[in-house]
Amino acid sequence: MKSLLVLSVFSLLLTCDTAVNPALQRAGIGNNSSPVSIDDISARAVLDEVNALRARGCKCPNSRYSPPVPPLHWEEKLEQAAQSHADDMYRGRYFDHNSADGTSFSDRISRTGYQWQAVGENIAKGQPTARTVVHAWANSKGHCLNMMNPKFDDMGVGKNGPYWVQDFGARKED
């Protein structure tokens, strides 16, 4: 009960509070204290949380209000790039947007074959659930602005141990 109260107080302090989808609550998302790696349900929970934030708009920390924007779509190639980076950070025990070999997120995304005109990345470490990681990103100006960026249409997420990676993209127009 004490941890639930702390989580409730934490939620009230958020600039861009995100409500957990009741269907995901019934599935145990948001109540899972320590998933070791991301699964399809948790990954989709991140997408649902981010899309809820985008649907209602948000004032990102130290920034102007971001009005509602269209929802993001799940993109397997972005998921592949994100998971690859989460795995690499876990194996190498580092925390950075650049891989240990110096590869940038745009390079990793390009390697998957995703044809992009704009990309972005959020990383986090230590959050136990989809909800808590989205809350953490919503309370960080750059991460929040990525989630609210109207240029982005697609998203993929990867997780390994405590490491989360969220990749965003906008496809090249033909």
Q: Is 38 exposed, middle or buried (0-12, 13-18, 19+ CB in 10 A)?
A: buried
- In order of 37, 83, 144, the CA distances from 148 in angstroms are 25, 22, 6
pLDDT digits (tens, 9 = 90+) for 113-129: 999 999 999 999 999 99
Question: Which pLDDT does position 39 carry in this prediction?
Answer: 63
Token couple for 138: 């919503």
Please give the full DSSP string across 61-103, using - where no structure is assigned.
TTS-EE---PPPEE-HHHHHHHHHHHHHHHHHT---SS-TT--
pTM given for the model: 0.78
Identify the band that residue 24 occupies on the pLDDT scale cut at 50, 70 and 90: very low
pLDDT digits (tens, 9 = 90+) for 152-161: 999 999 999 9
